[in-house]
Structure 1
């Protein structure tokens, strides 16, 4: 909707006025007429944004760059033919194991891993410092539940992303203390590798125990030979898991103590406050001028009604 500027003709107050589209200077006159309120509002918004930017507790971000362990480093001894058929009959799978990158990535993001890490590092008093009384060593209003601890850690502390093009994984830890953020990031990767490695060793041990029972129950030489080969494959897999510290994730670039805060971005926040102040100032200026109403007709033609002055 366009604004119509009405003026009376110079020297002819009794003649009807004429209309024209508003010029840019007309809008500027509106703001200029309300400059005190506009400047005050602009200064207020900028000062509030500046105060928030400098008073907001800083957050630091530590990153670990990871590469999934290649499939060749977690393969069973390849067997085929009739041995594969026999293994299938007793409930085992032969041949190269499937790529477990997606499975390991899901484990790194899982609730189980997060809660295990929180328990291992005793992080509840740190994550919920506002509810922990360090003097008495007790919780104020009850200890946080496992779900609350997981929500706080998963939403405010840990984030995991993967570049599917390069296959690299980035683990980020955000916290108010930079040294703590770096330490948690490296410790979480180590904890994930230890847990996944322990699971692989336990799985291989369980398979070996099952195969040893099967070989004791069968007398067929061909079947016994196949089972011995299976035991050899699972023993090899267990040995590789036990000796490989970086079982699931290989650390390409470990986390270091960040020197720059990730948030707040002070320049961005102050600039945003200034722009918001400009928009509010202009809006308030036009609202105040529209509320005051136009000047009577027959006023000085050099001063449009939008200025509200005669």
Structure 2
């Protein structure tokens, strides 16, 4: 049952963690990935401190880098990989400069927000009192509060265009499964997928005994037992245990979107299940269904 310990902070990938928001509001720090994932065993945690605590389990067990074959301590493995990839995930909102490590970004930010800036030649943000040396840096900082850049793929919003471009790379599937050729954005997600071929399901529900190949799936499943519904519709207040149920199904009621249409009579529906029921009216099993009929979008 080792895999079930220290599950505090494990969350669905679509849920933004609190520490991320605090960093952005106070420092203008780059928006990290939505969760903190262990590179050793692929467990996912809500906050970095939970991941740091978890990583102590792996202390003394060096990871062999697949690129240079060096033995790397687990707690520094992610940083080490950036040497090979050239990845600089931490971006300054004020000048766009990027860094390998968050600590370096934090030190750099002090250049823009130094208390030594004079009141006459400095520019202060009215929303958070941060001080900047130039109007250009202030305008770039204001975007942090507004987040005008949105990812077309997942809807996540960003304060700067270059951060959106960096995020989009995460949707690129670089890691391919040797069994079925499916591709994934990260090696950890590929490792989880491989378990579908091996049949390995190391994460077991303590309540009903059902097993899963990923901690994420277990966490979602546990909401059935706890009754937790963390995702709330801002229109009508109805709550859901999964974000996709809210975004892709329920919201169609409010938007009027009906992407599923009948090829026989062109009648439109907001759910594929309703279309399948309707097709029985025509009693023709050979007629196929389609989606995203332009005239069905309200």
TM range, normalised to the smaller chain? under 0.3
Look at both structures and tell me which one has the larger radius of gyration over its CA atoms. 1
- Richer in helix (by share): 1
TM-score by length of structure 1 reads: 0.20
Q: Specify which structure has the bigger relative contact order, considering alpha-carbon pairs within 8 angstroms and separated by 6 or more residues.
A: 1
**TM-score under structure 2 length normalisation:** 0.20
